[in-house]
């Protein structure tokens, strides 16, 4: 189980990230582009993924942890139940989402 504080610490540990509100909830940005946000429920995280196919693969592999709503239909975004993921999985999800949104030179510096 992961907490909102763990989400925050993990997200902010990535290079050039900042926290600011989105729709009244905490969201995390890399160079002005969002890569994760908490939903109003407080125990659900929204993260972009590498395409709708990947989104559906995550949901099919673990529907207890990953889901979507009609609002996100047609978007490469998955919702994550924090109570159903471990810290290492959260780190991977946030890092992958960060990579999708970060500028290439920032990713290259991170990988270097």
Low-confidence ranges of the chain (pLDDT < 50): none
- For CA atoms 46, 20, 25, 72, the dihedral sign is negative
What's the predicted TM-score (pTM) here? 0.94
What distance in Å separates the CA atoms of residue 61 and residue 97, rounded to the nearest whole number?
Answer: 18
What distance in Å separates the CA atoms of residue 41 and residue 83, rounded to the nearest whole number?
Answer: 12
| Digit-coded pLDDT (tens) for 12-36 | 999 999 999 999 999 999 999 999 9
């Amino acid at each position: 189980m992961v907490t909102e504080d763990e989400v925050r610490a993990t997200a902010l540990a990535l290079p050039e990230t900042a926290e600011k509100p989105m729709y009244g909830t905490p969201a995390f940005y890399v160079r002005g582009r969002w890569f994760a946000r908490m939903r109003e429920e407080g125990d659900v995280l929204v993260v972009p993924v590498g395409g709708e196919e990947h989104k559906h693969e995550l949901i099919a592999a673990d529907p207890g942890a990953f889901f979507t709503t009609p609002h996100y239909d047609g978007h490469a975004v998955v919702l994550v139940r924090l109570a159903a993921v471990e810290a290492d999985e959260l780190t991977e999800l946030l890092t992958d989402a960060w990579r999708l949104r970060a500028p290439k030179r920032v990713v290259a510096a991170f990988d270097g």
